Amino acid sequence: MHNDNSMLAPSLRAALGYYQRNQIISYLTVRLEVTLHGKTIM
């Protein structure tokens, strides 16, 4: 049981880090699109 936990923790942390990185990338992409659209509209 303890062995499974130590095996699971790193992959869980990696998955969390990957998810957070995705969130940041999508947020930045949206910000960039909004900025570009704002410049085109203005």
For the chain, domain boundaries: 1-42
Give a three-class secondary structure readout of the chain: CHHHHHHHHHHHHHHHHHHHHHHHHHHHHHHHHHHHHHHHHC
Task: Give residue-wise pLDDT tens across range 1-42.
Answer: 556 666 678 899 999 999 999 999 999 999 999 998 887 765
pLDDT at 41: 60
Q: What is the pTM of this model?
A: 0.54
Q: If 0-12 CB within 10 Å is exposed, 13-18 middle and 19+ buried, where does residue 30 land?
A: exposed
Helices (H) and strands (E) in the chain, counts: 1, 0
pLDDT at 42: 57
The Cα 24–Cα 18 span in angstroms is 10
